[in-house]
Amino acid sequence: MRSHSAQAVTRLALAGLHTSLDSPVSESMNFLNEIALRFPDAISLAAGRPYEGFFDVDAVYRYVETFRAHLMADTGDETLVNRTLLQYGRTKGIIHELIAEHLRVDEDITADPESIVVTVGCQEALYLTLRALRRDDRDAVLAVVPSYVGVHGAAQLADMPLLPVKDAAEGIDLDDLAAVVRDARAAGLRPRALYVIPDFANPSGTSLTEETRRRLLDAAADHAILVLEDNPYGMFGPDPGTGEDTGAPTMKALDRAGRVVYLGSFAKTGIPGARVGYAVAEQLVDRGGDGPDETLADQLAKIKSMLTVNTSPISQAVIGGKLLENGYSLRSANTRERKIYQDNLAHVLDGLAARFPAHRAPHVSWNAPAGGFFVLLTVPFTADDELLEHSAREHRVLWTPVHHFYADARPRNQIRLSFSHLSLQEIDDGLDRLADLVHERTKKVTDDDQARPGTTAQ
């Protein structure tokens, strides 16, 4: 038996490691994860996780069996089926045809299965795409901000500057997009793509109208950039065809110029623990006469082969089976969850109205998305990490300061509320606690104002 007591330690300097590791983004992700762990009994209006009430491990086995039966029916060869499920496999994945069918059924998207790369969650699809589009220091990605923390992270990790484009009531400020592209080019940069969540964006909840989507596609063609369409929440709006249905088609479905790379997630509609997502990348890649044409998907697959080799076929079988059992429709597979998300959203909006009546202090306002996982709240004070820490400790409620979605440290007076994983009672309790914090904080602001000579409390 060897002794392990003489073990010495090697020290590395953070300043010598990848730049993403000392960026605000990395600190953000770390802080947000860590505070939830430190206050486990706080109600979380912060976590954007799917509802867990219907989680069922037995269904996982059934899904794999369903997919296995599908493979057996296809091939009649048990050895081949076992190899497909358990051996190293196709880099682009094994459920690409089922995903293409799902996109047709649920999103009216026509996609060549060969242009689909199945990935380890949507995050890998995003990283593969950014890495592919990054040739050198000049390449940049654009994003409507505030935006998903993960796009800031992926861009940092890909060594790609992320140029913020202004949000607007319609979801994106197209004039600002033009200005950002123009300024970037003038500065010697190459804007390659715009990242956008057109449906119930994270964190704003905003959706782009069909008209805005078409104008954005035209702008992308004019600016010679791609559109990276991330669509994790599109299914969680009002029922299509109902009077409340405000859903526009996906940008991929509207795309006539081949500008869209579609980033798909099964984390909210399938099973988060499968960690399966995908990219649809039909763009052609010019290899300078060197062999036959390839697609951008082919390039993403090559990068994936150096990164994760292939996505677990067992995980893919879980999602594949769920697609097969539901006629390829995740919209119908999520009937119960969709109702919960819509009910929770309504409960949050009603609950905010009841706790913060209009035209009365404290002056709190919020937007009213038609679906998705998030509501954006504007408060009359700065909502930073310090306040979140206080909120977690003293009020036992968590929420997300919006500055994390700008990837800078500048505190702002907005917070993101999420509700997807909560019961109605938890929403009530969470909003009560949040209201206590807001009242306490507003009183403090007012007291501070009164204490300051020469000012008058408004």
Among the residue ranges 121-129, 163-171, 204-212, 433-441, the one whose residues contact a second copy (CB under 8 A): 121-129
**With respect to a second copy, which residue has the nearer C-beta, 11 or 410?**
11
Nearer to a second copy, 192 or 441 (CB): 192
Binding mask 156-195 for a second copy (x = CB under 8 A): xx-x------------------------------x-----
Site for a second copy in 308-347 (CB under 8 A): 308-315, 318
- Of 105, 174, 253, 361, which one interacts with a second copy (CB under 8 A)? 253
Residue 289 near a second copy by CB under 8 A = no
With binding defined as CB under 8 A, does residue 118 bind a second copy? no
Q: Which is nearer to a second copy, 276 or 392 (CB)?
A: 276
Q: Which is nearer to a second copy, 346 or 409 (CB)?
A: 409
Beta strands per DSSP E along 198-248:
226-230
Compute the distance between CA of residue 370 and CA of residue 28 in angstroms, rounded to an integer.
28
Residue 212 or 250: the one with the smaller Cβ distance to a second copy is: 250
Give yes or no for a contact between 233 and 193, defined as CB atoms under 8 angstroms apart: no
For residue 319, give every residue at least 6 positions away whose Cβ sits within 8 Å of its Cβ, in sequence order, or none. 63, 95, 266, 270, 271, 274, 276
CA-based nearest residue to 148, from 170, 122, 174, 169: 122
Counting Cβ atoms within 10 Å, is residue 359 exposed (0-12), middle (13-18) or buried (19+)? exposed
Q: What's the min distance (Å) between Cβ of 223 and a second copy?
A: 12
Strand partners, 109: none
Under the binding rule (CB under 8 A), the answer on residue 285 touching a second copy is yes
State which H helix or E strand residue 445 sits in: helix 424-451
Residue window 124-153: x/- pattern of binding to a second copy, with contact defined by CB under 8 A: x--x---xxxxx--------------x--x
68 near a second copy, judged by CB under 8 A: yes
Token pair 């491990």 is found at: 57
CA dist 300 and 142 (Å) reads 19
As given in the structure block, the two tokens for residue 269 are 């509609």
Number of residues that bind a second copy (CB under 8 A): 102
Q: 256 vs 360, which CB is nearer to a second copy?
A: 256
Q: Are the C-beta atoms of residues 162 and 194 closer than 8 Å to each other?
A: no
d(CA 439, CA 432): 11
Q: Is 89 in the site for a second copy (CB under 8 A)?
A: yes
Site string (208-247) toward a second copy, x via CB under 8 A: ------------------x---------------------
Say which residue the tokens 């700065």 belong to: 382
